[in-house]
């Protein structure tokens, strides 16, 4: 029998965020006192390059699959227990990278959001920049509800450059305030005055329909070297590499095409490092390589929506009496006679994992409904939070390619659960401000 696990401990925020904001302090204060607390801190001013590899499980990094990253890990600094914020979805962690905060501070609570002030009938898809712009418009500029990295750097007269091959939403969340940096994506160029330069140096955007997205990623890496460094000369660069996430979603963890994607990404990382070396700036650049989340194989047949419909707790798939955004459940008018019924059903369902509701107060670890944990344990308590948050159950079982981690939700492979295989992420670093050949159990 497969043994399933319940999740009851608080998830910490990205270690990488702490390092990134620490390094940014080094870049931006340039020997001056830090404003907060006016603590004197003599700083080096080295460039920071963060490379986010979407969906890179730490166990993908082997000498056979990713030899260049294996050497980078061996020679540099490695965070052994680095992990994502929860829920372990892309746009939440993109916002956390951009702000250095948990979802309860930045307010981007899931890949899909239900915000009645924007649209009372439909869920918003944060993958699309158009939906993010709607949120920003209808919330009076509060797409994110805390200060972002671009704003911090602008206040210190430092340059931020972002190149992303991911979705337009994850790219925009990294720098959503106009005038606070440069953002290059196949759908977005900010500022738009750079459009002609981008066209000249990178060529036109090439449409790709098959995974892995080789041309898209390669163009994004070219942007880092030819524009981010050669033209902008940015102090802080964030490079978002969309593979292997997209390929793993469709093909599976460890599938031949996923391995092909990983090998390609490994070569692109080497190309970035070689590009820094050729330009004579490798020794003065702190390189941080992270992933936004891990990945699990999926074996489920039923969705949360179909479960509620089958038990008469939601009228139909498109009804607004109960709205489901990813694993967040919103009950119309927050009806207290309906919410406990849904929770009791979830608790009786074997393929459902932990269940979260609002706590009775801000310090409570338990939710207001018996048997649930509070949103605050996940740093998910925000004015935009749903009535219930849950996830599929998980096990340590291996898939046909030998990779552990199985979640009882529909699909081929994915993330967003409380499984450690979704939560545990990659953190590697190398540069003048990092110890070499060091493993840290954090």
Torsion from C-alpha of 243, 246, 251, 257, nearest 10 degrees: -30
R_g (Cα) of the chain, nearest Å:
22
Q: Write out the DSSP string of 373-389.
A: EEGGGGT---TT--SEE
What per-residue confidence (pLDDT) applies to 72? 98
pTM: predicted TM-score of the whole model, two decimal places: 0.91
Question: Residue 298: which of 160, 365, 394, 377 has the closest Cα?
Answer: 394
Write the pLDDT tens digit of every residue in 384-437: 999 999 999 999 999 999 999 999 999 999 999 999 999 999 999 999 999 999
Query: Domain limits of the chain?
Result: 15-106+148-297+420-440, 304-398
Write the class of the CATH domain 15-106+148-297+420-440. alpha beta
Cβ atoms of 286 and 49 closer than 8 Å: yes
Is the omega angle on the peptide bond into residue 244 within 30 degrees of 0, that is, cis?
Answer: yes
Distance CA 254, CA 402 (A): 8
Write the pLDDT tens digit of every residue in 195-232: 999 999 999 998 898 999 999 999 999 999 999 999 99
Residue with tokens 């699909």: 411
Cβ atoms of 277 and 253 closer than 8 Å: no
- Note the CATH architecture for domain 304-398: 2-Layer Sandwich (3.30)
Which residue stretches of 279-336 are H helix? 304-310
The overall longest dimension of the chain from CA atoms, in Å, is: 65
Task: Per residue of the chain (442 residues), give pLDDT as tens.
Answer: 333 344 333 333 444 555 555 555 544 433 333 333 333 333 457 999 999 999 999 999 999 999 999 999 999 999 988 989 999 999 999 999 999 999 999 999 999 999 999 999 999 999 999 999 999 999 999 999 999 999 999 998 999 999 999 999 999 999 999 788 999 999 999 999 999 999 999 999 988 989 999 999 999 999 999 999 999 999 999 999 999 999 999 999 999 999 999 999 999 999 999 999 999 999 999 999 999 999 999 999 999 999 999 999 999 999 999 999 999 999 999 999 999 999 999 999 999 999 999 998 888 999 999 999 999 999 999 999 999 999 999 999 999 999 999 999 999 999 999 999 999 999 999 999 999 998 887 6
Residue with tokens 């929860």: 86
Residues, the chain, total?
A: 442
3-state secondary structure at position 219 = helix
Sequence-ordered list of residues with C-beta below 8 angstroms from that of 88, at least 6 positions apart, any chain = 293, 294, 415, 416, 417, 418, 422, 423
Instruction: Detail the DSSP E strand segments found in 326-436.
Output: 328-331, 352-357, 373-374, 388-392, 394-398, 404-407, 413-414, 427-430
Distance CA 142, CA 214 (A): 35
Tokens standing for residue 423: 């939560």
Question: Residue 19: which of 42, 52, 68 has the closest Cα?
Answer: 52
Distance CA 100, CA 44 (A): 21
Distance CA 322, CA 106 (A): 25
Which residue stretches of 203-301 are H helix? 214-223, 245-251, 256-278
């Amino acid at each position: 029998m497969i043994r399933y696990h319940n999740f009851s401990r608080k998830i910490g925020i990205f270690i990488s965020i702490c390092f990134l904001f620490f390094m940014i302090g080094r870049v931006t204060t340039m020997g001056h006192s830090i404003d907060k607390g006016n603590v004197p801190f003599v700083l080096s001013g080295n460039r920071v390059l963060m490379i986010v590899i979407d969906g890179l499980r730490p166990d993908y990094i082997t000498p056979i699959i990713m030899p260049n990253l294996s050497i980078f890990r061996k020679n540099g600094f490695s965070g052994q227990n680095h992990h994502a914020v929860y829920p372990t979805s892309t746009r939440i962690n993109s916002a956390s990278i951009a702000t250095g905060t948990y979802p309860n501070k930045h307010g981007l609570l899931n890949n899909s959001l239900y915000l009645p002030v924007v649209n009372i009938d439909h869920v918003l898809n944060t993958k699309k920049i158009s939906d993010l712009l709607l949120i920003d418009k209808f919330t009076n500029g509060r797409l994110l509800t805390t200060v972002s990295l671009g704003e911090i750097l602008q206040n210190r007269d430092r340059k931020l450059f972002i190149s992303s091959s991911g979705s337009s939403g994850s790219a925009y969340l990294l720098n959503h305030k106009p005038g606070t940096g440069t953002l290059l994506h196949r759908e977005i160029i900010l500022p738009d005055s750079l459009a002609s330069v981008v066209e000249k140096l990178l060529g036109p955007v090439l449409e790709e329909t098959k995974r892995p997205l080789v041309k898209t990623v390669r163009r994004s890496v070219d942007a880092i070297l030819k524009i981010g460094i050669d033209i902008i000369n940015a102090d802080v660069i964030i490079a978002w590499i969309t593979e292997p996430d997209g390929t793993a979603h469709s093909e599976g963890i460890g599938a031949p095409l996923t391995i092909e994607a990983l090998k390609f990404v490994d070569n692109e990382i080497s190309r970035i490092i070689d590009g820094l070396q050729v330009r004579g700036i490798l020794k003065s650049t702190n390189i941080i390589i992270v992933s936004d989340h891990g990945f699990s194989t999926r074996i489920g047949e039923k969705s949360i929506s179909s479960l509620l419909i089958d038990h008469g707790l939601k009228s139909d798939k498109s009804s607004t009496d109960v709205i489901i955004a990813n694993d967040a459940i919103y009950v119309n008018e927050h009806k207290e006679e309906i919410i406990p019924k849904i929770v009791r059903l979830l608790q009786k369902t074997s393929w459902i994992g932990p269940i979260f509701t609002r706590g009775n107060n801000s310090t409570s670890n338990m939710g207001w409904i018996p048997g649930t944990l509070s949103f605050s344990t996940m740093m998910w308590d925000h004015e935009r939070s749903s009535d219930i948050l849950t996830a599929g159950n998980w096990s340590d079982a291996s898939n046909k390619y030998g990779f552990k981690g199985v979640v009882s939700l529909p699909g081929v492979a994915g993330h967003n659960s409380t499984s450690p295989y979704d939560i545990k992420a990659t953190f590697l670093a190398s540069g003048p401000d990092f110890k070499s050949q060091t493993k840290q159990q954090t």
